[in-house]
Amino acid sequence: MATCEHVRFVPAQDPSPNTPQGCEECLAEGTRWVHLRLCLSCGHVGCCDSSPQRHATRHFGKEGHPIVRSFEPGEDWRWCFVDELIV
């Protein structure tokens, strides 16, 4: 079974979301999102890959922050972009 070494660097408490009302870039651009992801390195809120702009993945590409968690109510999972695993 594959493992993710990046999970060791996730803080014990999630960072405060920069924009709790939605995707940071979509809010600025006036575009829409499907689902939201919270970067566990810095608190960036980005939209998922089912969203037209894919801002969570773009944030990973720009900043290299490896792990996000779902920012959807009732969901409690994390994704590592580097290892492409749910962690």
Q: With cut-offs at 50, 70 and 90, classify the pLDDT of residue 14.
A: very high
Take residue 77 and report the two structure tokens written for it.
């999972």
Asked if residues 46 and 55 have their Cβ atoms less than 8 Å apart, the reply is yes
Which residues make Cβ contacts (< 8 Å) with residue 4, sequence separation at least 6?
67, 80, 82, 83, 85, 87
Q: With cut-offs at 50, 70 and 90, classify the pLDDT of residue 2.
A: confident
Q: Tell me, what's the pLDDT at 76?
A: 92
Alpha-carbon span 14 to 11, nearest angstrom? 6
* pLDDT tens per residue across span 37-57: 999 999 999 999 999 999 999
Q: Tell me, what's the pLDDT at 1?
A: 59
